[in-house]
Every structure is written in structure tokens, then in C-alpha cells.
Amino acid sequence: MQLGKIRSTPLQSKAPSARERLLEAADALFYEHGINVVGIDRVIEQAGVAKATLYDCFGSKEELVRSYVQVRDERRRARILARTEAMTRPQEKALAVLDILAEMASQPDFRGCAFNRAGAESTPDSTVRGACEVARDWLRQFYLDVAQQLGALDPEELATKLVVLYDGASVAAQFGGGAAAVAAARASAQMLLETAPKHRRTQTKR
């Protein structure tokens, strides 16, 4: 009887750790207001922890911001990879990235690219800028892989153009264009992918 009672007791969900609460608060506040405007007092107040806890978990505000950027990067990678995992056509993969951006841009809390914003607010030699560059490098590498799969004659150039379109769409969406701005960039990306010079053996594929 006692064993039956144990099995029927619902499992209690694990409460988020102090680190997780701090990162959640940082994510909301830094993305909404910027990393320089928001001080650590606002973060610890929203997270419901003591200031000493923040320093125990991260050591400094810069490390908290760097961790915020890293978590954002990991989430974006996961979204893109999950969306494109089953896709076989490189054009589909490239356009899927902009489809995800359009979905995000249609949300009322969209504030543009977190990596561009945090990078612009940080110093060139900071760990925050480094984390932003890692995020941007990953996206560029994703586009480079797509360009190589497509058989582009100059995959580096094609990847650079796709990143520029992504950046432009993100900024335009942030400043009032919304999903419509991303749709315009998507149309340009589709044309770019279709017309980019390709190796002869690739051109015959359908």
C-alpha cells in the first residue's frame, strides 16, 4: 500500500536555480532596455536574489551580460537547426532563417537583434563583444555551408550578402517594419539564391 502511494504522488517540478532566475531576469531586462541602461540592482530585484548571489554566480555584470548573450545564441542556434534539420534543399535552409526572424518580428516584444545591440553597447575588447562575434560567426558559417551546398562559385560572397540581408531585415523590423520588412528581405534572398553563379554541375540539378 505504501509503495502505491509513492507511485501515485505527482512529481514536483524543480524550482529554477538562482543562476537561472538571474539569467531569465537579465534576458528580459537587457533585451528590452539595453545592457548599459539596466543596472545589476534591477536584475537582482526582478530575479528575487541578493546582490551577493549575483556575484557568486557570475562574478561581475560583464560576465552576466556575456552569459545572457551566450544563452541567446544557443537558443537561436537551436531554433534554426530544429527548423532546418529535415530540409534537403539549401535554398530552403537559407530562407528558413528569415522565416524564423519574421515570426519573431511579429511579436510585440521584438527589439531587433540582441547580438547587434549588445555588441554596439560593449567595448571592442570586452568578453561581451566576443560573445556577440561568436553568435554572428555562427550564423555566417551557417550561410556559408548553405552556399557551398548550393554549389555557389563564390560561397564566401553569397554568405556575406545573406548576412547583410539578415542584418538589414532585423534593423528594419526593429524600427517599425515588422514582419513586412523581413518578407522584403526574404524575397531579395530568394532572388539572390536563384541567380547566384553556380558550378556547372550544380546548375543542371532540379
Domain-by-domain residue ranges, the chain?
16-59, 66-203
- Sign of the dihedral through C-alpha 109, 110, 112, 113: positive
pLDDT at position 149: 97
What does the pLDDT read at residue 101? 98
pLDDT tens column, 101-110: 999 999 999 9
- CATH number belonging to domain 66-203: 1.10.357.10
Considering only CA atoms, which of 103, 53, 61, 55 is closest in space to residue 82?
A: 103
What is the DSSP secondary structure assignment for residue 12, as one 8-state letter? Answer: P
Q: Hey, what CATH class is 16-59 in? A: mainly alpha
In the chain, which stretches have pLDDT less than 70? 1-13, 201-206
State the pLDDT at residue 134.
98
pLDDT score of 13: 62
Query: In whole angstroms, what is the distance from residue 63 CA to residue 165 CA?
Result: 30
d(CA 73, CA 167): 15
pTM, two decimals, is: 0.88
Cell triple for 33? 532596455
What pLDDT does residue 11 have? Answer: 52
Residue 116 and residue 167 in contact, taking contact as beta carbons nearer than 8 Å: yes
Give pLDDT, residue 53: 97
